[in-house]
Amino acid sequence: MDTKTLVFSIGQKMIVVIAAVSLGFVGYLVFPIIDITAQEQLEVFVTHSGAVVKTTGDVLDPVYTIQEVEFDPEKYLRNFDYGKVSQLEDGSTLREFTIIAEDDKIMEVAPGIFYNVWTFNGEVPGPTIRATEGDLVRIHFTNNGSKEHTMHFHGNHPAEMDGIFEIVGAGGGQFTYEFIAGPVGVHPYHCHVMPVEEHIGHGLYGVFIVDPKDGRQQADEMVMMLNGFDTDFDGENNLYAANTIPFYYQHHPIQVTTNELIRVYVVNMVGLDPINNFHLHGTLYKYYPTGTDIVPSEFTDMITFSQGERGILEFEYEYTGRYMFHAHLTEFSEKGWSGIFYAKDSSQPSMEGYAYGS
Ligand SMILES: [Cu+2]
């Protein structure tokens, strides 16, 4: 390389360096106030693999940033959806329900744990659908999800209303389920699209109560859906609960009155674990398996459920105070399936937000 070429080459390099520095400086002048604090804003993403990520950084394959589900176990506990009621020509009752499935929402299922929930009417569990034996139940079902979904009710109905073979397509598919409510009892409903474990695991289930025509004895009635979440997708549940939020009723005890009949409709929808159970402190309950008989099968404080098993518990408290109820499986109770009944006599004030152990 001769001297002339060398000088030229150094000159070129200098021009490139000067140009780069100048560009950087001009860039700084043009965009002088890039708000670096915006980088600290946490955002929630669902990735293609189904993972839910909350991060200040970029996610390479986000499907969407999503709306969070607000779920209130207090409201769910004693909320029954009787549908839109009308009389048919033959004098029987028609109850119509509108149910919309979605699969793009997330819920903070425990502090800092965000999970992609799949919902019926925007919640996990879906609404507690209630009818009287012999009523005509009509469900206007729309699937606004990105995957196929159905509604499969336990109970009596024609084969084509079973929610198995009549797959309802994603993005607005519709189906009308219609059947005569029966038998009397407490039943689950859930999506039955394969893999069912995944569709149930993400939250597509709810409770269906069929009341006897003559009703049941007056009681303080409530619903407990025993559920769990595998938040790290390793095939094991990380959280357990009665009504979705771990320890909710431990921090917000369920207020009941002494010497008043309490009736709890319990459904076990925990997947991945073969059994679950319900242990009650301070009193015993009459247990009606599936709620189909008027004679209780047991008088006990401890019942074990397999997957999908359910029943009705009836009991009352003689003495005031705080009584735990929880899974006797300690792993489940220590991961969230634990709560408290606060029994007061009618003259006592109610108690707000008492934290167990505090
Ligand atoms: Cu589904």
pLDDT values of the chain reduced to their tens digit, one per residue, 358 residues: 444 544 455 556 555 555 555 555 554 445 545 444 555 677 777 665 566 777 776 665 555 556 778 899 999 999 999 999 999 999 999 999 999 999 988 888 888 888 889 999 999 999 999 999 999 999 999 999 999 999 999 999 999 999 999 999 999 999 999 999 999 999 999 999 999 988 999 999 999 999 999 999 999 999 999 999 998 888 999 999 999 999 999 999 999 999 999 999 999 999 899 999 999 999 999 999 999 999 999 999 999 999 999 999 999 999 999 999 999 998 999 999 999 999 999 777 665 544 443 3
Looking at the fold, whether 102 and 207 belong to one and the same domain comes out as: yes
206 CA → ligand 1 middle, Å: 13
Q: CATH no. for residue 136?
A: 2.60.40.420
199 CA → ligand 1 middle, Å: 5
152 CA → ligand 1 middle, Å: 10
196 CA → ligand 1 middle, Å: 7
Residue 20 domain-assigned (yes or no) = no
Kind of pairing between the strands at 254-257 and 239-242? unpaired
Give the C-alpha separation, 260 to 53, whole Å: 46
Looking at the fold, whether 197 and 84 belong to one and the same domain comes out as: yes
Looking at the fold, whether 189 and 202 belong to one and the same domain comes out as: yes
Looking at the fold, whether 62 and 144 belong to one and the same domain comes out as: no
- Nearest C-alpha neighbor of 109 from the set 254, 277, 268, 227: 227
Length of the chain: 358
Name residues whose C-beta falls within 8 Å of residue 173's C-beta, 6 or more positions apart in sequence.
Answer: 142, 143, 148
Amino acid at 256: V
188 CA → ligand 1 middle, Å: 15
Q: Identify the domain boundary among 189, 215, 241.
A: 215
Residue 5 domain-assigned (yes or no) = no
Domain that holds residue 337: 217-358
Neighbouring C-beta atoms of residue 170, cutoff 10 Å: 15
Q: How many independent structural domains does the chain possess?
A: 3
Residue 262 domain-assigned (yes or no) = yes
Residue 12 domain-assigned (yes or no) = no
249 CA → ligand 1 middle, Å: 28
* Token pair belonging to 102: 């979605």
Residue 3 domain-assigned (yes or no) = no
| Beta partners for residue 204, in sequence order | none
Looking at the fold, whether 154 and 229 belong to one and the same domain comes out as: no
165 CA → ligand 1 middle, Å: 13
- Nearest C-alpha neighbor of 205 from the set 164, 150, 156: 150
At 23 the pLDDT is: 54
192 CA → ligand 1 middle, Å: 6
303 CA → ligand 1 middle, Å: 29
Radius of gyration of the chain measured on its C-alpha atoms: 28
Q: Identify the domain boundary among 22, 38, 66.
A: 66
Q: Identify the domain boundary among 44, 66, 88.
A: 66
Looking at the fold, whether 246 and 176 belong to one and the same domain comes out as: no
Looking at the fold, whether 81 and 61 belong to one and the same domain comes out as: no
Residue 21 domain-assigned (yes or no) = no
170 CA → ligand 1 middle, Å: 10
Residue 17 domain-assigned (yes or no) = no
129 CA → ligand 1 middle, Å: 18
172 CA → ligand 1 middle, Å: 13
Looking at the fold, whether 154 and 266 belong to one and the same domain comes out as: no
Residue 7 domain-assigned (yes or no) = no
Give the C-alpha separation, 309 to 132, whole Å: 21
135 CA → ligand 1 middle, Å: 26
Looking at the fold, whether 98 and 181 belong to one and the same domain comes out as: yes
Looking at the fold, whether 199 and 331 belong to one and the same domain comes out as: no
Looking at the fold, whether 87 and 171 belong to one and the same domain comes out as: yes
Amino acid at 313: L
Give the C-alpha separation, 215 to 70, whole Å: 33
Looking at the fold, whether 246 and 269 belong to one and the same domain comes out as: yes
Name residues whose C-beta falls within 8 Å of residue 93's C-beta, 6 or more positions apart in sequence.
Answer: 85, 86, 87, 131, 132, 134, 135, 136
